[in-house]
Structure 1
Amino acid sequence: MAHIGIGLFSLACVYPFLFVVVLSFTDEQSLAKNGYKIIPEQWSVEAYTYLFRTGNQLLRSYGVTLFITVVGTLLTLVIVSLYAYAISRSYFHFRGFFSFVAFFTMLFGGGLVPSYIVVTQVLHLKDTMWALILPMCVSAFSILIMRTFFKTMVPDAIIESGKIDGAGEFRVFLYLVLPISLPGLATIGLFAALGYWNDWFNALLYIDDARLLPLQSLLMKVETNIQFILQNAGVGGAADRTDMVRTLPAETTRMAMVVLATVPIIFAYPFFQRYFVQGLTIGAVKE
């Protein structure tokens, strides 16, 4: 009975996404006439055809998003793990100061205008890939998670044994600490990957070059264009414009955008699933 209940609950969690996938393959006229149905009366790929009419831009945006997700996640893991390991060691004399620096940024932010000035005027990163990567590569929340992991899950005896054998601090960290820290790294890696994949705001601020638009920003522009067409359909009263609006797959295109933006990142979960649950319970139990 418990397995049946868990199965039904899992189905209830997956059902909304499956419903969105079905709607994305539904004919727009059928959807307007019959409403939302799990088994539509008429199937259609017009929504995906409409999106792929952007040509190479969609594939380019996929490539940009994939690049910033991979590079940004790796950079986040490197910076966060090194920072957290340093402040987790009791013999590091400045651990209190650097812990306060990380925690302070969780309470107070510099604001949008200073951040924009730093990125564009000081670092000169406007219209570059780094403008989509660097502003998000350090997370105080992730630093505190990894600090807790290093303090509770990495025995001091392992670090001391490495130093007795003549290993330096970096070698101890690389060969002894990191191999047993995969649950924590997988947790913050998944959070970072999701953040980079779903980010569109940084592109809105720092990217004017269409070749550097990430996927989420491109889909947002497509949605904006659809809204503009629908809202201005009656202006001028042109018959051909009215026909275009009537055949425009507005609702199904929205569903297709959800599918295109969601499906690729779903494949990241199997790589993190092995460690994710253990990583979520960091510090919950200390032996």
Structure 2
Amino acid sequence: MMLTGRNESAGATFVLLGFSSFPPLKLPLFMMFLAIYTVTVVGNLGMIGVIRVNPKLQTPMYFFLSHLSFLDFCYSSVVTPKLLEILVVEDRTISFKGCMAQFFFACMFVIAEMFMLAVMAYDRFVAVCNPLLYTVAMSPKLCALLVAGTYTWGVLCSSKLTYSLLKMSYCGSTINHFCCEFSAILSVSCSDTHFSQMVMLVVSTFSEVCSLLIILTSYVFIVVTIIKMPSTGGLRKAFSTCASHLTAITIFHGDILLLYSVPKSKSSWLFIKVATVFYSIVIPMLNPLIYSLRNKDVKETVKNLIHTKLLSHSV
């Protein structure tokens, strides 16, 4: 039945197909996603806690990293619990309001993370290219403004995209996805989707180009500075401060660019689901691992906390 008007749509429900086409995989997928989500929650909240308890980590770089961990935790928590639910229960429905809310928050956190990675690239640029002026240039006020700007831009973009979806009517009830992803929602609309697609194209292209431009410009200057360094010790230190961030950027932007370069045809929906799993569930788990495994200060703080905990239990 066609869903038109705010009142009728508000009480509507969608059915999320998820991975229902593969019944034997339901339990293995549930166990795998549950394990990944557990590591994501522990890893990201643990990273935030570690940064807060160690005075050595009260720097702009770790301030931004704590917000990246917060965004990863939030984004994964918007998507994963519903995926786990539809894998184990027969009722795979989600209300219209719930679907729009899930899309709004997921979109907001993804765009905010996109620009958080760009802010972190700028932070690395200042640290490597102007180390003597780093603490002055990256003042607490500027750091707070940069973080506030990423969240604000995420909210504005997500609001515009969600509004474009709310203005449409829907004549389908089955969403061929495990979450309320933009193209999946459009597939069940019986309105003209041209406006929504144009809004998505403009918002996603502008955000992606701007964030990548900031990242690429920052790293061009970083590479030039590193090449000019006379000592190998300084070169190694400069590279180590950027390696984790570069890894996170490559995985995040690579997956998003791959996802949105795939044509939305029936044959590509499985690939789209897998790609969405990767950037919405796997990447939030990988980021704290990437930063903690390559970071001496973080590893030392974790070891000290474990050591202190064991001593308190043995006394």
After TM superposition, the score normalised by the length of structure 2 is 0.28
Choose 1 or 2 for highest CA Rg. 1
Q: What is the TM-score with the length of structure 1 in the denominator?
A: 0.29
Higher helix proportion (structure 1 or 2): 2
